[in-house]
Amino acid sequence: MARAKNGTVHVARRKRILKKTKGFWGTKKSNYKKAKDTLRKGMMYATRDRKVRKRDFRRLWISRISAALSDTGITYSRFIEGLLKSNIKINRKILSNLAIEDVEAFKKIVLEIRR
């Protein structure tokens, strides 16, 4: 009787890795050894960058709010301090959208803070 060397599991594992690396450049998509290493590295980057994306968006919102405040004569830090003191609970994402899309509403918030 022939010795079974677990061939189907081996092939399935390789197939699963190579399927995930579809679209990678060069032999990183077809050479199992390189594909395995590249996929592991790519998954590490994906995990890290899910956190970085949140950080980048927060920076973007802050810079948009700061730009909208530049012509009102108030700094970003004073604006956030005023929001806390006036007990206005609007997050930076909404404030950023207001600064871009609804300038009048944003100016009303700034006037409320200045009182």
pLDDT tens by residue, 23-79: 989 998 888 999 999 999 999 999 999 999 999 999 999 999 999 999 888 999 999
Whole-model pTM? 0.74
pLDDT tens by residue, 7-31: 888 889 999 999 999 998 999 888 8
Domains of the chain, earliest start first? 31-114 (1.10.1900.20)
pLDDT tens by residue, 77-94: 999 999 999 998 999 999
Residue 11's alpha-carbon distances to 5, 32, 33, in angstroms, are: 11, 11, 14
Q: Half-sphere exposure of 89 toward its Cβ, with a 13 Å CA cutoff? A: 0
